Amino acid sequence: MTKIKVKQLIFDKWNVIHIKKHDVKPEEIIEAGVNLIYHRKTYKGRYLAVGRSGNRLISFVINREGSSIYYLVTARDAEKKERRRVYEKEKHKQKK
């Protein structure tokens, strides 16, 4: 799997209002993008990414617009299955 690097996230009025419904702020998504833990490809060429913003694990869906530039589709708190995968990755890193 190719590792993505999020250097810029594109926000517009629609996605800012949408993520607010999930109690997520744009600043948290930017921080989670910098602290990206894992990602996987989803349908329509989008990525589901999970990153850390403070102590919070946030899942967000992004669509590639250019080199390291992504449009934010949605964001929410990570689900139990996603959190477990993050904890396993972090545990594995600590063993190295």
Map out the domains of the chain with their CATH numbers. Answer: 8-95 (3.10.450.530)
What pLDDT was estimated at residue 1?
58
Length of the chain: 96
pLDDT, tens digit, 9 for 90 and up, residues 56-75: 999 999 999 999 999 999 99
What is the CB-side half-sphere exposure of residue 78 using CA atoms within 13 A?
A: 26
Phi, psi of 81 (to 5 degrees): -65, -40
pLDDT, tens digit, 9 for 90 and up, residues 1-53: 578 899 999 999 999 999 999 999 999 999 999 999 999 999 888 999 999 99
CB-based contact 7:14 (threshold 8 Å)? no
What pLDDT was estimated at residue 59?
97
What pLDDT was estimated at residue 86?
87
Amino acid at 23: D
The reported pTM is 0.88
